[in-house]
Amino acid sequence: MRIGQLAEATGTTTKTLRFYEESGLLTPAERLASGYRDYADDAVGRIGFIHRGQAAGLTLAQIRQILKIREHGQTPCSHVRDLLGERLRELDAQIAELATLRETIAQLHANAAELEPETCSVGEVCRYV
């Protein structure tokens, strides 16, 4: 399978696939006599895994770690469990932070809807913020 076909099969671009190879997410593909990359069918599964990992909020660096462990013949299970747990804690923190920010902004916005521009003093930039 050539790179364009693989890109189409996995819903991505040839640019991205070359970028993944360069980033160590894909093992360098075999080459045809022409120099074209020639992918085995299992590449589709590997790229699917990358996409699912991304959808689960893992970074490419984390996905690369998992793939490396798999390549060393080990099962990356406990590592994946840890990564997911970590990601869960991060998400909770992030959501809490955004919720606080949302309340702050909602307050500012409510003030901005109420106060009249005339009450702005010259010395400050904007009394709403």
Partner DNA sequence: ATGAACCTTCCAGTACAGTGGAAGGTCAAG
Partner DNA sequence: CTTGACCTTCCACTGTACTGGAAGGTTCAT
Q: b or e along 71-102 (b: 16 or more beta carbons within 10 Å of the residue's beta carbon)? A: eeeeebeebbeebeeeeeeeeeeeeeeeeeee
Of 27, 36, 85, 107, the one binding DNA by CB under 7 A: 36
Site for its own copies in 1-60 (CB under 8 A): 42, 45-46, 49, 52-53, 55-58
Work out how close the CB of 59 gets to DNA at its nearest, in angstroms, rounded to a whole number.
Answer: 4
Site for DNA in 53-92 (CB under 7 A): 54, 59-61
Rounded (10°) angle between helices 3-10 and 14-22:
100
Say if residues 36 and 28 touch (Cβ distance below 8 Å): no
Of how many residues is the chain composed? 129
Does 48 sit near DNA (CB under 7 A)? no
Beta bridge partners of 37: 31
Query: What letter represents residue 45's amino acid?
Result: G
Max intra-chain CA distance, the chain: 76
Of 9, 18, 69, 79, the one binding DNA by CB under 7 A: 18
Does 65 sit near its own copies (CB under 8 A)? no
Cβ closest to DNA, residue 27 vs residue 115? 27
- CA pair distance 33, 15, nearest whole angstrom: 21
Both structure tokens of 7: 């890109």
Residues that bind its own copies (CB under 8 A): 42, 45-46, 49, 52-53, 55-58, 66-67, 70, 75-78, 80-81, 84-85, 87-88, 91-92, 94-95, 98-99, 101-102, 104-106, 108-109, 112-113, 115, 117, 120, 123-126, 128-129
* Residues that bind DNA in the complex, under the rule CB under 7 A: 2-5, 7, 13-16, 18-19, 32-37, 54, 59-61
